[in-house]
Amino acid sequence: MTTDIAQPGEEDFIVRHDLQVLQILKALKDEENDLKVSFNHAEDDYLTRIIHIAADHQHLYLDITIDEAFNKRMAASPELLIHKDNGIRIKWKA
């Protein structure tokens, strides 16, 4: 996780340890939480779920849309902002 997406006052809540991040991601996957993915300077967004976490823990697979053009824009985007907000806010850049 990076600090440049943190809002003022959120710095103390940033998770920096890989194992903690992995635990959070596994919980989001196991609980089938909906996640909002934004990209293209927030011009594009959609709801998705984590469908797989690679064994090397370096790759995260998200459910994609049926819109092929949208999926291509997302794949070409240099940055995705992913967040969940229902009581506890979780967000990260990928």
Q: Which structural domains are found in the chain, ordered by start?
A: 3-93 (2.30.110.10)
> What pLDDT, in 10s, does the model give residues 75-92?
898 888 888 877 666 666
What average pLDDT does this structure show over 8-35? 82
How far from chain centre, in Å, is Cα 22?
12
- C-alpha distances in angstroms, 40 versus 26, 64, 76? 26, 16, 9
Identity (one letter) of the amino acid at 29?
Answer: K
What Rg value do the Cα atoms of the chain yield, rounded? 13
CB 84 within 8 A of CB 49: no
Residue 71: pLDDT band (50, 70, 90) is very high
pLDDT in tens, 33-61: 888 888 888 899 999 999 999 888 888 89
Cα 69 to Cα 39, 40, 44, 77, 90, distances in angstroms: 14, 13, 12, 12, 28
